[in-house]
Every structure is written in structure tokens, then in C-alpha cells.
Structure 1
Amino acid sequence: MNSKRTINWKLFLVPLFTMLFGMVMGGCSDDKDELQGSQYGYVQFKIYKSASYVQEEENQSNTTTRATTLSKLGDVQKVEIEMQYNGKSITQTLVLNAYNESNAEYGMRSDKLQLLVGDYKIIGYKLLDKLDKVVISISASDNETFSVISQGLTIKDLTADVQARGSVTFKLIKDGLTTRASLDDEKEYLFSNIAIIDVTVTNTFTRVPTTIKGLKVKYKEESIEHQNPDNADDKYMDIGTAKCDSAVWLPVGTYQVTEYITYSKKGAIVSTLGAATNVKGDEFTIIDNEFTEGAIVPIKLSETAEYIKDYLALKEIWENLDGKNWGYHGIGSPEGTNWNFNKELDMWGDQPGVSLDDEGRVTGLSIEGFGAKGKVPDAIGQLTELRVLALGSHSETAGGRLFTNENMQESQKQKVRMNYKEMFLDYDPRIEMSELLQNSVNRNPKMKAIKKDNRIHLKDTQIGNYTNQITHISKAVMRLTKLQQFYMGNSPLLAENICTNWIDPNSEYAKKYAADELDWEKMTELTDIELYNCPKLTTLPDFLYEIPEMQVLNIACCRGIDGLNGTKDGTGNQLTEDWKRLATPDKCKSAKKIQILYMSYNNLVNFPTGCLHNMEKLGLLDCMSNKIETLQPFGKDVKLTQLNLNYNKITEIPKDFCGFTDQVESLSFAHNKLKYIPNIFNAGSVYVMGSVDFSYNEIGSESGENIAPEDKNSYIGINASTVTLSFNKISKFPTELFKANSPITTITLNNNLLEKIPQYSLSSKDGNGKEFKNTYLLGTIDLRFNKLTELSDDFRATTLPYLTNMDVSFNRFSEFPTQPLNSSVLQAFGIRHQRNAAGERCLRDWPTGITKCPSLLQLQIGSNDIRKVNEEMTPKLWILDIKDNPNISIDLTSICPYIEAGMYMLIYDKTQDIRGCDALDIKR
């Protein structure tokens, strides 16, 4: 361009403005503005790439370029244009704009420029970068002109030699599953785990490679039409696709994907999955400013990958266990759910009850609840990353699938171990207390709430019934050296068919594994085993004794051992012998390591002798609902935290039966034939247990004594907070418990034969009535369903300062026992249904002054013969039961507003003589 012809635009405009201003100086302002505006118009320049520029009008001319080609149009920020107007040269620099760098490839537009009306000729223009450095200079042809019209906008297209480029996105496809090709590296991963990919494309003509890094990948599962060969109703096949939505720009040409590196991402952590070279994707062509969608990146997968072999093994397991007829029944999956293999091979691991790790290996297999039938095949040995194998369990019908996560923390693992206990064994013995006492306890935030008895007394799967028909399990399980939990249940399994032989010695798997040294000794991570409700077992399988680190064993509901199916040794003591073997280190490698032993609902008659002391780690023992008559001692060195001996035929407990830890929550001896309270505890221990339950026994039936004669002078009490003695034959109050300083806070003595509680039953005669050391702790007493006629002064606040709740309903009181009313913390008192020996109502007098008790909230005095009540009621006593007192006469004027407001609970009959409150709708 000729620099001599260039003038400053501002200098050119000033004389014109001055001239125009002078011409209209004498006119009005509106005329002046209109006149000035009519002399101007606007022009906007658009810069396009020469390679893709198409003229919109025939009269538009082409520019002539004389410059080096620019790599990207988006690199320029400004245009400097030299124009000629009426022989004068004008130069103006304008900012160029585009929505973003990618859009810039389709053209950039300048700011609008105001010019005088007329014809202009473009001499040339320069494109500048963000530092105002000229990146390209262009000389225009002789006919490169444009016109500015009055108050209008003229668009002028300009072109520049910019490298021709187009955009492309990538689509990842699975490649190699139908071949035996191996991956470039040894790491295996799931196609669905790819989150980021680096792609290298090579120009097929120049052979120049270009690498695009950090493309984000989106995985999506879709369906295509494909008939499921296993299900005539399924006509759609699941497939997995992955796309990179971000478009990238490439120079024009034909390309092919030749390399890639894949990455996974968890949170901010990015990890390399794998890489492949010598890839041959489909060729794709880049055209200037055109978009190419879904250039193929073939991700190499291989049938030889271990996770693919896992999935092939799953298919074989499914087929061998009658998988086509499976239908899930339970909680955790929809009713009738089955496995589905109408999907791409690398997706076969996505099945209900199957857990996978990040590399796609099977780590959890739970087929409980599907109704499997047949033999677990040798293919099970392929799943060498398996942690959990559940072929059936105690919870599959009522509780649903027990295992939902194979990578459990220790706390989660412990929760699974306690599941059987929580479902079928746990109960709060305080449930035997009256509703009055339970409600009062639950209102007190300082006391542990009483849970309603929600035990499933009839097991979720009825004992002896099956949920599956698995008859054999391959010895290939011994290859699963990472296995931690092995659950079998609700099956017709026999001991000799559990992991003893190959299912098919000629199978591909059996031949492959035949050279392996299979040994249970290698199963060092296998700690939890369940053989639940397998009624055809007549003895425990031999493999149990070979497990080196077994900690939990559940053999509940296996009644075929010592049951109708006979016994191995013919003596009827097979389960006793099996337990003896479990507890003998020379015969069982885990004898000293077993921590939890569930044996409920069996036919165990006797404990084994001379070996139980070896079970030094045993903490939880469940022998509920057996036929136990004789117990053998563990010794004090075996310290239990949980013990359940309910529903047996036990008559006595050895003094050195076991020790107890500071973590004991409950010990249950209910529903047995105990004659005396066992002398196996120690009230002087610094550890106080939660509860001890002796309900439903025969305590007190021997000469009315609660403690065995030989223990009278050596009884050491019970170090428990709650002691339950209900439903026995106790006629003498168990003073021995308090004399031994047992730290009891709740005692339940309902449904016994008590006729009186003599003075000094809770305190000593020595020291003028001084209390026994821990009697003051007693806060809740249930004495219902006895034959009491009075209470001694032991029940005054001087002896029981923390008495909070007491119920003496269903006794023979003819006078209200006022002793407990002295307690400053008494909240609930029950004295319903008092009858004398002849069955007549015997309690007639209202306890005048009871409304003055400082803390009393609830009084139950219904089902008696209370007459005239000469006391004004108070809202402090806000729960009152006077129902079934046919001769009562009471005025409730003082509390009627509280009744109307729902702030007072009155339990009454509409036929009673209740006055002063029309809201009660009393029948007159």
C-alpha cells in the first residue's frame, strides 16, 4: 500500500463536521440533527476464510491475497483497513468479534464504522493479533468497492488465506470381543469406566500424526433390536456407547485414529486405564468449516481378559443352575427379576446380585432368592477375585439380599455378622413389663427405649422348606483364595456334596484347574460361613474343619443332624460330636478363632465335654430352641458378650460355665426348667451387664427357695441392670439379689406366687434398717399377677429414692399402698384389677392426696370398686385410668379445660358418674 496516500481519519472528519455545522447554524435543532444524520451511514466488515468463502451476490468481487497463509482465523483480533474516498485515503482500525474461537472459523465481523455517504474503494487491509502485531497483509483488487447509504448499514465481505480446517467429534466403539487378540498392555478395565481419552489421528496422505488430549467421554447404555435367545419376550439387546461431545478442529484431509490412551476419573483423581498403538479406525474426511460427527475410536477389548472370562463363567453358572427359569423373590430387586445376557459380552457382569470391581472382575456373587436349581459348576473357580459367595441365606425371604457390597468396612462386615441375631434372636426382656411401665420408660430420655417385640418367630423361610434346589457345589471353590464370606442356605445339600468333587471332570474348567494344588489351607481370608436351613445335612461337612481363619459359623435350622434323617455315628449325638470336633484344635484349625456360633433351631441335646475351654475367642453363642438338657462349662477364661439359651430343657447352669466381658448386652435363659437362680455372676464386678432373663422357668418350685441350698451362703448376685424373673414360681421375694449388692435398676417379677414382701427384703436389719449397698439404684418394679395384699416400708423413698415406675396390678390389695408415693421421682403407678381370694373387687377407697405427689404423671386405678373421690384433680397428673369402676363418683371441673384442649388423657366409661366436664359425653 502507498503510505503517501494515507491520512488520519480524524483530520478528514473535522473539516466536514465544521462545514456541515456552518450550513445549518441558523436552523432549528431538529432540522440540524436530521440534516447531519442524513449525511452518514454505516459499514461493517466480515472476514472469511478464502477456502470456504461463497459469494452471496453475483456482483460481489473477490479479493486478491498477497500474504502468507494464517493458521487460524480466531488468532486475529483487529482489522486495519485503508480506503479511498473522493481521492482521499482513509485508514481505520476496527475490533473483530466472534462468539468463540470455534465460531471464528466460520467468519468474524468488525465493529460498525460510521462514514459519509458515498462510494469507497478498498486499497488493502491488515489483520492484527491481540498484541496489535500484523499477522497478515492483503492488497485488494481494483474493483474492491462498497457504497455507504444514508442512515443505512452496508455489509462488506473480505477474505483471507487461512488454513482450511473442519471440526470432528469422536465415538468410542468396542473392538476385539469376537477375536482372541490381546491388549497392548496387561491392564484390564471396563469400557464404561473410560472418562477421558487422548486420541492420536494420522493424515493418511502426509502420515503426519496429531494428538488431541483430554477429551471427556460420556458413557451411555442403549438398546437395539435383537431377539434374546433365552427369552422370547425380550427383543432388544443392551449395548454400551461412549462419545466425546467436544468438537476439535483439524486441517482438511483424510484421517484415521492410530493411537489412544484412556483414563478413569474418581473425584479429582485421574488414573490411566490403558493405551493402544497400531490402531486402525475407520477413515474420516475433514472438509473446511464442515462438521464430522462420530469418527470411530476402536477400543481394544479381548475375550482373553480375565473380567471377560468371569462373565463367561457367570453365563455357565446361570445355565447350570436352571437360570432360564429363575425369578427373584425377596427384597432388593423387583419380583420375578432374572439375569439378562441379551447384551454385549463386556456388559454381562451387570446382573442383579453381582458386584464388580473397577477392573470389571466379579467380587460378589449372591444368587439368594432366585430359585437356583442344580449343581454349582466348576466354572465357579474362574471368579478368583470373589469376596462374597451367597447361594442362599437366612434373610433372603424376609430381609432380602444380605450382601450388597463386597468391599465392606469392618463395621459393615460386623453388621452382616449380627444380622441373624438381630432378625431372630434379639428381644428386649422388658417387653414382659406392663404397658404402663413400658410407656413410662419410653417417655424418659435418660432410659433406653423399649422396642416392641418384632421378632419373626416363624423363620422367614420355614424350617425344612427350600428356596432353591442346589444339590452340589464344585470343589473349584477352593481356587477362590480371596473369598471372605461363603453362605449356603435353604438347600437340599448333603455334606458329601459340598466342595468335595468336580461337577464334571471333563469340563474345560476342571481340566484347567486339575494341576492346581487346591487346599483349604490357602483360604486365609475366609472368615464367615453359613449353612442355614439345610435339613438333609446329617453331619457338618468336612471342609469346615480345614478353614484356617474361620470366625463366624451359622449352622442354624439344620435339624437333619440328630434329626429325622438319622445320624452319622448312630448315637443320636451327632451335633454334639461335630461341635466337639469344632472345639478341638487337633481336629479343627479354627477352634481357637471362632468368635460367633449360631446353632439355634436344631436338635442339640448336650454340650460336648472337655473341649469348650479351647474356644477362647468365642463371644456370641446362640443355642436357642434346641433340646439341651445338660450344659458343660467353658471356664471363666472364655468370656461371652452374647448368650441365648432360650427354649431348651436346662435344669441347672454350672458355676464355671463361662466368663463375661464388659460389653455384655443380654444373656437369655428363658423358657427352660431352671429351679434356682444360677450362681454364675458376680455383683461385685466393675462391669454391669445390660440384662439377664430367667423368665418362664421353674425358679421357686423347690421348697419355695430361689437360690440353691448349697449357694445360700456363697451367692454373689447378678451384675446386671435389668433382671427378668417373670412367669416363674417365686413365692419369696428374691432378697438374695439385693443382699449381694446386685446393681439392679429394673426388676420384673410379674406372674409369680408372691403373697407378701416382708420388711427388710430390700434393706438390712443391721444398722437400723440401713439399705443394702445398691438397692437405691432400683427404679422400675413390675409386680403384676401375684397375690400381694400389702407392701412393706422397704418401698419408701428412704430405701428407694429413685423409684420411678411401679405396677402392682392384678393382685389383692384392699387398701392403696402409699409407701411408693413418697418417692420424689415417681412418675407412673399402676394398681388395676385388685381381687380378693374369692375373686371379688376389694379396692374401694381413692388414695386421697395422690394428686400432691410431686412427679406423678400417670395413675392406673381402673377395674376396681372405687367409690366417692373427694379430691380435686390437677393437670400435673395428666394420664388417669379409672375405667371399669362402676360405682365411682368424681368431679373433673378443675381439669375439664385440659381435657377439651387434648392436654389430659382420661380413660373412662361413659356410664360412670363423672361430673364437671360435658366434653366427655357422659350418659346420664
Structure 2
Amino acid sequence: MNRLSYCRFIFYILCFLLYACTDDKEVFQADKGYVQFKVYKSESYVKNETSRASGNVLDSLYEANKVKVVLRSNDYDFSQTLMLHAYDEQSAEYGLRSDKLELQTGEYTVVGFYLYDRAEKEPIFAGIPSEKTTFTIVSGGLVVQDLLVDAIGRGLVKFELIKNIQSRGASDSDPYPFSDINKVDIKIQNMDTKKTQEFKSLKVTYVEDFDDRGIGYRTSVGRIDTLVTAEAGNYKILSYAAYNRTELLQYFNDEVLGEATFTVTDNKQTDAKVPVTIMETAANIKDYYNLRTLWEELGGPNWSYVGESYPKGTNWDFDNKDIDMWGDQPGVSLDKNGRVIGLSIGDFNPTGIVPAVIGEFEELQSLALGTHNDKLRPGENPLADLKGGLTPAVLEKLRSDYMDNFALRDSRQDWDVQMQRCMVEAGQPAIKKSIVQPKDIIHGDLTNGITGIDKAIGNLKKLEVLYIANSPITSLPESLGDLKSCTDLEIYNCPRLTAFPDQLAEMENLTQLNMAMNPQLAAAFPEGIKTLAEGKAGESLQILYLGYNNIASLPTEVSKMKTLGKIDLIYNKLTALPAFGKDVNLVQGTFDYNEIARIEKDADGYFCGMDDVESLSFSHNELTEFPDIFDAKSIYIMASIDFSYNEITEVTTDKGINTNNLSLAGNALKTFPKDLFTSGSPLTVLNLSGNQIEEITNDDIKGEKTYMMTSLDLSNNRLKKLPDDMNGTYMPHLYGIDISGNQFSAFPWGLANISYLNTLIMRNQRDDDGNRVYKEWPTNIGNHKGLRALLLGGNDIGKVPETERLSYLINTLDVSDNPSIVLNVSSVCPYIKAGMYLLIYDTTQDIRGCDYLTLE
């Protein structure tokens, strides 16, 4: 019998029982009250005292739009039709509420009821109470009467992904991190009806949490906030498919899922666990087992982090987290599949021989067993966390770090602080301070206890970066020569290494080699460098750092390193530099702090190719002549050339030098290097401080590119005056000049004609006997519209005329150590108070016109 026929049958029975059934007849008394009917599913109803339903089964209560209730009062039967309400289909599952029905006071019995859908043609459900169901109306009161309907039970299900770690004996699966699951498809089956249901693209949120296995134990789950609806019953999970944002990660069916069951109860929420399979034989899990072995064999239980990337004392943890989270260790980098691609462990003080398990990290790209940063700049290690792998940006940072921060010296550091500020204001790059000074470097100061490396390291086919530093390692395995992918190698401060590792010459893709701070190999370096130059590495090597090694000579074979672009040889014992040759285009070269007295040239007159040079530095050596290795007409302008603190007595060159920044500070020049100007050198920054120059003539500064000069340091020479032509005509862009420590007795007024002049430093003018020779105040200097800093300290200026008013434009004024000065600063006092004017003075001086100043 179909649903409609069944409803008709029940309807005829009810009509037979009701001898006076009507919707319209008035039977009410004077006092009235209200009744409201609520329709519930019998499956989820729990009140025992109410009536039960009798009739066919509805698919959903939401189908019902109206209820017709048949009531009996005082042996009189009547019916009333009322609208039913629910907020939406889901809320209808929890019950429907009728309109309120107004009735006379008294007792009523529910004889039966009918439910209609929105079409209202035939009832979709007829119900008869299985036992007497009555309610009483009181005057002005409201009675709620429940009606029960046989309808399909439904509940809500909230899934959560949990980890199902399978033993090593299970079949392999592709590696991926549990945290990478972004969405999931889940298929379930009703174990009673055998019906299946599938939910697609459920959003997953990875959450790390603690569970009940002990305080601090780390685990994780995949939370799904989406609630899905299922019919009431007992279920099992048939299968799931896990995806990241773009592709399928894993699919598993009930053969592996096992007892993944749950029960759905009508109108209740059920939490169901979906066990996501993690295979111990997956490649990423194998990596994590290998991490534990590596840790154990290098004294892991005693590790204690000393850097700054993680809290002090940090160690690896394997006992308090799920196995798939073992890769989440400080200093360990993982790729998108959870494979280990980076290890940086030098800061944890590992001890012993790196074991053979190191060769099983198939995806390892970077291995750092200490770096040159460990002591002097801890925490600044780009290898500590390779989130994006060894990207070009990371490699660039690695390769420039040692040169930029430990070897390369910015010659502008020698300038007066105000002149440094002036140069930056003029648009030059910021002045970089060298981090390392000789006193900071202690050969043999170790940070780890690694004594050796197993030959299995040669199996690492993808290893690109290998750093070994601050270690008591005694030898290196021959298998290093098998690292065909290795581009960057550091063997820094390994004082117990007894032989130069000739196997490095076989590394066919070696790009950077840092072997600085190994002076115990001083005698072996010349032959070792020759071996490198003649081997496969010599064809690929671009960066070579060899500072602090006491190397006495370089082999001429360095000319075979055609790709060499950066070389550092600071703090060695070189007495001469061989020619690198025309084909070796150095970009940066540092040869400071040696004993170099000679720089060789090849047959074509080249020390090195000059097409790509950015900076060359030969400071603190024993050169007596300015080397004839440059040409002002070469293709590219070099950023910086440094010959400071040598013993150069004169600069003789017909070709000049093609650089913007040249330092000849601290030499023995007695005459101004006029050839630099007359040869057309494009100098913008020139440091001649600390020489013995006595005179500069007008002819000395004339050249086709003299106008480019912006910063000039002539301090600490023996000059008494400047040429008249050092003015706005020949040096129109001069921004700052320092003539301190000379013998000027008169103000160089030619400089005042340079409208761009921003900084003039004229401190400490003394004659040969040490007497102060500069005594005059530069009258009306405040009229200069460009000058911002005037430093006249250490002279013998007396009383400044009362008619002289200081200009607020010159906002830095140094008059300190002028014992007899009398100066009225009232015109700039408001600016001093506002912090907009820097007056450098002595509290014992006679400074007037500003109570804000501290004076004795």
C-alpha cells in the first residue's frame, strides 16, 4: 500500500469514529485559553507520558506545512487546521511548532491528526494516539501538546582526521606531511542498510595539540568544522582521499582503516574519527628515524643549543611527539613532502664522528656542521631553516656573507664621523662597518666536538652546501670528491686538520670555497691551491676565501681559475701577488694586512681583468709605488680601490684609474697625486689623509673629470693653503671636505664659493712646533646657503665680533677647544633648545646668549 492509499484508509476510519466532525461549529464558553501543538519525530522523542504516533513514515518533517487536529470535548468531536513552522529544513528535524489555537476552558482529548504538505490536496501523514492523550485549557493559559510522527531519523556528523601509524612491515606510501592535508573526501556505509554516502572536499585545518599520553606530549589532528547529515544508524568509514591545495596526497580504503566505526543518533551530533594512514616505511618517516640515529651517535642527549635562533639549551626531542613530527626539530629543514633537505647542527655542540647514516638522507641539500658565524655573529645562519630550500636568494646571501661582513673593508670608515654622515647625505650607499677585527679572531676557539665524518657522506647526490667549522676534525673523507652537486664548501677554523684536502679538486661544480682561519696549513696552502686550480674545481670556482692562514705565497696557477670573481686573502704573509691575468675578471678582492711589496702583471700588462671589478683592497701592506695596473679609460667604473696604509711615496700614472672611490690614506705622499686628475680619473671620493703633502697648486687639480669630486679628505698633512681654483668652477659638486690637522692660518675662502658645500672640517691647525696657527672667525660665513656643518674645534679663535650672527642653517657647529673664544649664540638659541642645532663646545668657554647651555 502506498503512502497516499494508507492515508486515505486512516482517514476513513477516523470519519467513522467521528459522528459530528466539523471545522466550523462554535462550542466555546465564555472563558478561553490556548493550545499549541508541537510535532516531533518519534525516534528522538524521550517523554514517556505523551502519545505515540501511528501511521506511515515521513522522509522529513520539513515536508509538513499544516496539521489538522481532531479533538473531543464533552462527547463532542471537532477539528481545526493550523499552520506549522520551522526556521529551515535542518531545524525542522528537531520539531515543528503550530499556530496557537484558542479554545474554551475545559478538558480535551486528541482523537487523531493529519499532516499536509504545501499542495494540501491529500494528507501525507495520519496519526492516531496509541493511548489516551488529553490536555486541559485554563482561562488565559497556554498548553503545549506534543504530537509524534514516524519520520526517518537523522543526525549531524563532525569528522576529525587522526593519525594511524602503520608498522614497518606495511606497504610503502608516498611521503607527505600530515599537516599538508588541506581537504578530504570521506565515504561511509550504513552497516544496517548497506547504503553508502560520500562527502566531498571537506576543508581540513591542521591543529597541534596535547593528548592524554603525558604532559607535554605533542600530537596533531586534522579538524573539519563542516557538519554533515546522515541517517540514524551504525556506520563504518569505507575510504578517504586526502588532498593538498592542488593534488591528491593519499587514498585508502577499509582494508587499512579497520575498525573506523561510529553511530549516528537522531537529532544529535556525532564525532567520528577518520584514521589517516602514516606508513613507517614512507621516505619521510625513514628520514626521521635516521635523524634519531644521527642524534644518538653524535651525543644527542647532551646537546645544548648556544646560538640565537632558538632558546638557549634547546635540544632535539623524539620521546614526546608522534613519529611523523620527529622532523620538526631546530636546525632541521623539510621540503613540502616532509623530506629532510637541511641540517644545521653545529650550534648544538655535537661530538664524535658523523656516522654512516648521514649518507641515507637522499634529499639533503645543505649540511652545516658549524659555520664562520658561530662565535662572532651567532644566530645569523640562513641555513638554520631552509623553508623554501636553497633558493638563489639564499645562495647569494651565503656566498656574499663572509666577504661583506668579515673580509671586505669599507675604506670610508677612516673618515671623520661628520664626513661619513655627509657622504651618505650626498647620496652614497650607507657605510658598512666591518664586524671582524684581528683581536676578535682566536684560532682554535671551537664550538663543537666533531672529530670526523664517515665516508658515506659521498652518497649525498643532492648535497649542494657543506659547512664544517670551529671543529676538532682531524681529516676529511676522500669521498668529498664524489659530491658532484656540491657548490658551496666551508672548512673554517679546523685547527687539528693536518693536511690540505686535495680531494676537493675533484668537486666539479664547486663554486665557493671558504678555508679561512686554518693557519696550521700555511705551508700546505700554496701546493693545495695549485692542485685546486689544475683540477675540476678550478674550472668552476668563483669565490675563494683564504684569510687568516699565514700563507706566504700564491702559485702562479691561480691564473687558471678563469671563473674566479671573489678572493679574500686578508691577514696572511704574502710579500707579492702573482698576476691573475687578463682572463680572470675579479669582482671583489681583499689583500689587506699582508706584507705585499709587489703586484705582478701578465704579459699584456694585466694584474687581473678589469671589466667586472667592484672593489679591490690592498690596505696595510708594504707597497712603495702606486701599481700601474689601472686605466681611467677602462669600460666600467670601479666602486672602490683602497691602497691605504702602505708606504707609497708618489703616484705616477699616465693612464689614471677608473674608480669613484680611492683611498691613499696613511701613506708617505709628499706631493699631491696630480696624475689622478690630469689623466681623467672619475674620482668622486678621495682620501689623502695622513700623508705629508705640503702644497697643492692650481695645475694639480685640473682635469676633464675634476668636477665630479664630492668628498675630499686632506686631513693630517702639512698644507698651509688651498689653491684658488679649488672653488665652484673646478669642483662645483664638492659636498664635504676635511682639512683638519694641517697648518692653515687663514680661512680657505675659495671653498665658500662652492654652493653645494655642506660640510667643512678645519680642526686642529698646528705648525711644525705644535703651535695653534688658526685664529680668525670666518666672518659672514652664515651667508653660505648650503653649508650645514662647520667644525672649527682645536684652534685658537678669540672673540667673535658682536655683529656676527650665527645662521640656523649651519646646524652643526664645533667650537670646542678654542680656549679664548667669546661667542654669542642668541640667534640660534631657540634652535638649540628645540634640538635642531648641535653646538659642540666646552663648558669652560665664554659662550653667551643662551641660558639653556650648561656652562661653568
TM-score under structure 2 normalisation? 0.90
Report the Cα distance in structure 2 between the residues aligned to 1:192 and 1:787, rounded to whole angstroms.
Answer: 72
Report the Cα distance in structure 1 between the residues aligned to 2:776 and 2:248, rounded to whole angstroms.
Answer: 83
Report the Cα distance in structure 2 between the residues aligned to 1:693 and 1:330, rounded to whole angstroms.
Answer: 35
Larger displacement relative to structure 2 (686-695 or 235-244)? 235-244
Match of 2:128 in 1: 140
Q: Check conservation: 2:502, 2:528, Cα contact below 8 A.
A: no
Instruction: Give the direction of change, closer, same or farther, for the CA distance of 1:524–1:70 in structure 2 (3 Å limit).
Output: farther
* Deviations 1:14-37 (CA, angstroms, capped at 9, x unpaired): x99xx99xxxxxxxxxxxxxxxxx
Match of 1:551 in 2: 511
Structure 2 counterpart of 1:647, one-letter code: Y
After superposition, residues 430-829 of structure 1 pair within 5 angstroms as 430-444=412-426, 446-451=427-432, 453-458=433-438, 462-497=442-477, 499=479, 520=482, 523-562=483-522, 572=523, 574-584=524-534, 588-609=535-556, 611-655=557-601, 656-662=606-612, 664-700=613-649, 705-707=650-652, 712=653, 715-763=654-702, 772-829=703-760
Larger displacement relative to structure 2 (156-165 or 738-747)? 156-165
Match of 2:6 in 1: none
Match of 2:378 in 1: 399
Q: Check conservation: 1:63, 1:158, Cα contact below 8 A.
A: yes
Q: Secondary structure at the match of 1:482?
A: coil
Deviation at 1:630, TM superposition (A): 1.9
Structure 2 counterpart of 1:826, one-letter code: L
Deviation at 1:117, TM superposition (A): 5.7
Instruction: Give the direction of change, closer, same or farther, for the CA distance of 1:411–1:154 in structure 2 (3 Å limit).
Output: same
Report the Cα distance in structure 1 between the residues aligned to 2:347 and 2:657, rounded to whole angstroms.
Answer: 44
1:868 equivalent among 791, 795, 799:
799
Instruction: Give the direction of change, closer, same or farther, for the CA distance of 1:122–1:824 in structure 2 (3 Å limit).
Output: same
Report the Cα distance in structure 2 between the residues aligned to 1:448 and 1:600, rounded to whole angstroms.
Answer: 26
Unaligned runs of 5+ in 2: 1-10
Report the Cα distance in structure 1 between the residues aligned to 2:92 and 2:450, rounded to whole angstroms.
Answer: 68
* Deviations 1:626-676 (CA, angstroms, capped at 9, x unpaired): 1111211122222111111111111122341111345x4322111111112
Deviation at 1:782, TM superposition (A): 0.9
Q: Check conservation: 2:365, 2:390, Cα contact below 8 A.
A: no
Deviation at 1:898, TM superposition (A): 3.0
Report the Cα distance in structure 2 between the residues aligned to 1:496 and 1:909, rounded to whole angstroms.
Answer: 62
Structure 1 counterpart of 2:345, one-letter code: I
Q: Secondary structure at the match of 1:278?
A: helix
Q: Check conservation: 1:473, 1:499, Cα contact below 8 A.
A: no
Report the Cα distance in structure 2 between the residues aligned to 1:11 and 1:290, rounded to whole angstroms.
Answer: 34
Report the Cα distance in structure 2 between the residues aligned to 1:42 and 1:499, rounded to whole angstroms.
Answer: 94
Instruction: Give the direction of change, closer, same or farther, for the CA distance of 1:101–1:619 in structure 2 (3 Å limit).
Output: farther
Report the Cα distance in structure 2 between the residues aligned to 1:686 and 1:128, rounded to whole angstroms.
Answer: 94
Larger displacement relative to structure 2 (46-55 or 351-360)? 46-55
Report the Cα distance in structure 2 between the residues aligned to 1:10 and 1:724, rounded to whole angstroms.
Answer: 115
Report the Cα distance in structure 2 between the residues aligned to 1:130 and 1:652, rounded to whole angstroms.
Answer: 105
Match of 2:8 in 1: none
Report the Cα distance in structure 2 between the residues aligned to 1:774 and 1:114, rounded to whole angstroms.
Answer: 107
Report the Cα distance in structure 1 between the residues aligned to 2:118 and 2:485, rounded to whole angstroms.
Answer: 65
* Deviations 1:544-588 (CA, angstroms, capped at 9, x unpaired): 1222211111111122212xxxxxxxxx3x21111112112xxx2
1:220 equivalent among 203, 207, 216:
207
Instruction: Give the direction of change, closer, same or farther, for the CA distance of 1:49–1:224 in structure 2 (3 Å limit).
Output: closer
Deviation at 1:121, TM superposition (A): 5.8
* Deviations 1:434-456 (CA, angstroms, capped at 9, x unpaired): 12212222334x333324x2412
* Deviations 1:605-630 (CA, angstroms, capped at 9, x unpaired): 22211x33332221111111111112
* Deviations 1:488-521 (CA, angstroms, capped at 9, x unpaired): 1111223454647xxxxxxxxxxxxxxxxxx82x
Instruction: Give the direction of change, closer, same or farther, for the CA distance of 1:629–1:126 in structure 2 (3 Å limit).
Output: farther
- Matched length: 828
Report the Cα distance in structure 2 between the residues aligned to 1:420 and 1:113, rounded to whole angstroms.
Answer: 89
Report the Cα distance in structure 2 between the residues aligned to 1:106 and 1:458, rounded to whole angstroms.
Answer: 81
Q: Check conservation: 1:279, 1:298, Cα contact below 8 A.
A: no
Q: Check conservation: 2:453, 2:476, Cα contact below 8 A.
A: no
Larger displacement relative to structure 2 (789-798 or 803-812)? 789-798
1:109 matches 2:97: yes
Instruction: Give the direction of change, closer, same or farther, for the CA distance of 1:458–1:203 in structure 2 (3 Å limit).
Output: farther
Larger displacement relative to structure 2 (535-544 or 875-884)? 535-544
1:53 matches 2:45: yes
Instruction: Give the direction of change, closer, same or farther, for the CA distance of 1:461–1:875 in structure 2 (3 Å limit).
Output: closer
Deviation at 1:223, TM superposition (A): 4.1
The Cα RMSD (Å) is 3.1
1:414 equivalent among 396, 408, 426:
396
Match of 1:370 in 2: 348
2:288 equivalent among 287, 311, 324:
311
Deviation at 1:535, TM superposition (A): 1.9
Q: Secondary structure at the match of 2:402?
A: helix
Report the Cα distance in structure 2 between the residues aligned to 1:631 and 1:389, rounded to whole angstroms.
Answer: 34
Deviation at 1:727, TM superposition (A): 0.8
After superposition, residues 50-449 of structure 1 pair within 5 angstroms as 50-55=42-47, 58=49, 60-65=50-55, 67=56, 69-73=57-61, 75-76=62-63, 78-83=65-70, 90-98=79-87, 101-113=89-101, 125-127=113-115, 136-141=124-129, 143=132, 146-183=135-172, 186-223=173-210, 236-265=216-245, 269=246, 271-282=248-259, 284=261, 286=263, 288-289=265-266, 291=268, 294-342=271-319, 343-397=321-375, 398-400=377-379, 401-403=381-383, 404-405=385-386, 407-444=389-426, 446-449=427-430
Match of 2:4 in 1: none
Q: Check conservation: 1:394, 1:461, Cα contact below 8 A.
A: no
Match of 2:766 in 1: 835
* Deviations 1:385-418 (CA, angstroms, capped at 9, x unpaired): 1111111111123232331216132122211211
Q: Check conservation: 2:239, 2:251, Cα contact below 8 A.
A: no
Match of 1:901 in 2: 834
Report the Cα distance in structure 2 between the residues aligned to 1:806 and 1:12, rounded to whole angstroms.
Answer: 112
Larger displacement relative to structure 2 (189-198 or 882-891)? 189-198
Instruction: Give the direction of change, closer, same or farther, for the CA distance of 1:459–1:756 in structure 2 (3 Å limit).
Output: closer
Q: Check conservation: 2:475, 2:499, Cα contact below 8 A.
A: yes
Structure 2 counterpart of 1:893, one-letter code: S
Deviation at 1:335, TM superposition (A): 0.7
Deviation at 1:785, TM superposition (A): 1.0
Instruction: Give the direction of change, closer, same or farther, for the CA distance of 1:218–1:435 in structure 2 (3 Å limit).
Output: closer
Report the Cα distance in structure 1 between the residues aligned to 2:491 and 2:762, rounded to whole angstroms.
Answer: 50
Q: Check conservation: 2:615, 2:638, Cα contact below 8 A.
A: yes
Report the Cα distance in structure 1 between the residues aligned to 2:398 and 2:498, rounded to whole angstroms.
Answer: 27
Deviation at 1:351, TM superposition (A): 1.0
Report the Cα distance in structure 1 between the residues aligned to 2:324 and 2:854, rounded to whole angstroms.
Answer: 74
Identity across the alignment (%): 39
Instruction: Give the direction of change, closer, same or farther, for the CA distance of 1:251–1:879 in structure 2 (3 Å limit).
Output: closer
Q: Secondary structure at the match of 1:920?
A: coil
Structure 1 counterpart of 2:431, one-letter code: I
Q: Check conservation: 2:44, 2:267, Cα contact below 8 A.
A: no
Q: Check conservation: 2:558, 2:580, Cα contact below 8 A.
A: yes
Q: Secondary structure at the match of 2:236?
A: strand
Deviation at 1:698, TM superposition (A): 0.7
Instruction: Give the direction of change, closer, same or farther, for the CA distance of 1:243–1:842 in structure 2 (3 Å limit).
Output: closer
Match of 1:508 in 2: none
Q: Check conservation: 1:251, 1:286, Cα contact below 8 A.
A: no
Q: Check conservation: 1:841, 1:864, Cα contact below 8 A.
A: yes
Instruction: Give the direction of change, closer, same or farther, for the CA distance of 1:727–1:10 in structure 2 (3 Å limit).
Output: farther
Deviation at 1:136, TM superposition (A): 3.2
Q: Check conservation: 2:174, 2:283, Cα contact below 8 A.
A: no
